[in-house]
Amino acid sequence: MFSRPEDAGFLPVAQLGSLVATLTALGYQCLGPAVEHGAIVMRELDAPDAIPRGLQAEQAPGSYRVTRDPHDRYFAWANGPQAIKPLAFAPQESLWRVERDAAGALQFAAVLPEPRAQAIIGVRACDLAALALQDAHFLREGRRDAHYARRREKLFLVAVQCAEPGATCLCASTGDGPTPTAGYDLALAELADGFVAMAGSANGEAVLEALNLAPATRQQLDMAQKQGQDAAASQVRSLPGHNLRDALMSRLEHPRWDDVAARCLACGNCVAVCPTCFCHAEGDEPAMNGQSSEHARIWDSCFGEAHAHLHGFDVRPDIRTRYRQWLTHKLATWHDQFGRSGCVGCGRCIAWCPVGIDLTEEVAALTDSSGQPSPGPSPRSSTPSGHRGPASGRGG
């Protein structure tokens, strides 16, 4: 499972708290799983032994319920509604501020965050893959986003192998999980009596050294590897394993778009929970006294009317075109932008859609399950409204 299994250590289950204590001593604010409003979220751990045992989550289209793991493991839950994304790409933040000085002149100043170093314990492989995509967007050469960069560089990621994926998970088919292979500082695979632990960065090595673990045995490494393989084989949902760009872009007039539009509420939940979506809007918040104003950025969604409003008309005037924009950007035109699909298989958009729309079902219906293109208009031709596909960097 790990990139360098010969360097793996073994953390006995009774010593999990020492990982939290070590990270805290190194100056990190430690975040781990907690139940809030009926869902598993990442919250600050107020003590080394504060990671809860036995949490699990039952997920299905339009449904999420926290349950108990009969084996009382620490990480037997599949992902909750959010993981890393809000910690690097803040849901709402000021970008700059303008104030009127004593002479009445306007003074502009950047507002930059001063985040604490944070260690997130329990990150999943799908979220590591999603973070790599967020990095590709926000940290690209020449257009580095200072707000994202400041938060991102403060993160220490403790990944955990998913041994029991949810019924909505499909990361095996997208090639992103369930075993973390890259992008972590430290990776854990939970066995009955402890954790196989492997560093993925210099910071992770420093933490492993401080923990002074015994090397993982061949048997423990084999068990971790088999656990990952079994977890991948247990996933009941999937997307076709090949590039869907041509298959989807040649079906822009498929009747299934009307069918899904009749069910979709355009609520934007799928976008809010998707770890790869990066759309945002910007706006000004002037103070009542007229002396200052904040320029803020807030998460936005391609399901919203305003998102598609350009120069006096709507380029996507109905739910059919907005859902189509979301799915074709995510699974088709992301390949043009980032060289891969925008789906990392976390399944959140399925579980958190209030009407249970399942992108794997929609893709199967649109592509007759094959994912192969049908004869039709050129994939690069204009849309029926005369407008080309999404502009680079806008949709997410």
Q: How many residues bind ligand SF4 (CB under 6 A)?
A: 25
Least separation, in Å, of the C-beta of 25 and ligand SF4? 35
Selected from 346, 390, 395, 396, the binder of ligand SF4 by CB under 6 A is 346
Restricted to residues 299-318, the positions that interact with ligand SF4 (CB under 6 A) are: 303
Q: Provide the edge-to-edge strand list for the sheet that holds 106-110.
A: 106-110, 92-100, 292-299, 280-286
Asked if 124 is part of the footprint of ligand SF4 (rule: CB under 6 A), the reply reads: no
Among 119, 343, 363, 366, binds ligand SF4 (CB under 6 A): 343
Shortest Å distance, C-beta 128 to ligand SF4:
12
Q: Which of 164, 175, 304, 303 is nearest to 238 (CA)?
A: 175
**Concatenated DSSP letters for 101-126?**
-TTS-EEEEE----PPPEEEEEE-HH
Nearer to ligand SF4, 33 or 347 (CB): 347
Determine, following the binding rule CB under 6 A, whether residue 165 of this chain makes contact with ligand SF4: no
User: Least separation, in Å, of the C-beta of 345 and ligand SF4?
Assistant: 6
Q: Which is nearer to ligand SF4, 126 or 216 (CB)?
A: 126
- Minimum CB distance to ligand SF4 smaller for 151 or for 348: 348
Question: Residue 232: is it exposed, middle or buried by C-beta count within 10 angstroms (0-12/13-18/19+)?
Answer: middle
Minimum CB separation of residue 270 from ligand SF4 in Å reads 3
Q: Is 60 in the site for ligand SF4 (CB under 6 A)?
A: no
Kindly report the number of other CB atoms within 10 A of residue 287's CB atom: 12
User: Does residue 357 belong to the site contacting ligand SF4 (CB under 6 A)?
Assistant: yes
Judged by CB under 6 A, does residue 131 bind ligand SF4? no
Rounded to a whole number of angstroms, the minimum distance from the CB of residue 326 to ligand SF4 is 7
214-218: long-range pairs with CB below 8 Å, 24+: 214/9, 214/10, 215/8, 215/9, 215/10, 216/5, 216/8, 216/9, 216/10, 217/10
**Mask for 260-289, x = binds ligand SF4 (CB under 6 A):** ----xxxxxxx--xxxx-------------
Q: How far apart are the first and last CA of the chain?
A: 30
Stretch that binds ligand SF4, among 147-155, 184-192, 198-206, 355-363 (CB under 6 A): 355-363
Q: In terms of CB distance, is 154 or 348 closer to ligand SF4? A: 348
User: Helices marked H in 121-268 — which ranges?
Assistant: 125-138, 146-152, 171-174, 202-211, 218-233, 245-249, 256-263
C-alpha–C-alpha distance, residues 156 and 142, integer Å: 25
Estimate to the nearest angstrom the gap between the alpha carbon of 284 and the chain centroid.
28
Q: Tell me the one-letter amino acid at 197.
A: A
Q: Fill in the amino acid letter for 377.
A: P
DSSP 8-state assignment for residue 209: H
CB of 77 to ligand SF4, least distance (A): 16
x/- string (CB under 6 A) for ligand SF4, residues 216-255? ----------------------------------------
Q: What is the DSSP letter of 382?
A: P
321 with 295: CB under 8 angstroms? no
Q: Rule CB under 6 A: say whether 128 interacts with ligand SF4.
A: no
* Residues at the site binding ligand SF4, with contacts judged by CB under 6 A: 264-270, 273-276, 303, 330, 343-349, 353-355, 357, 359
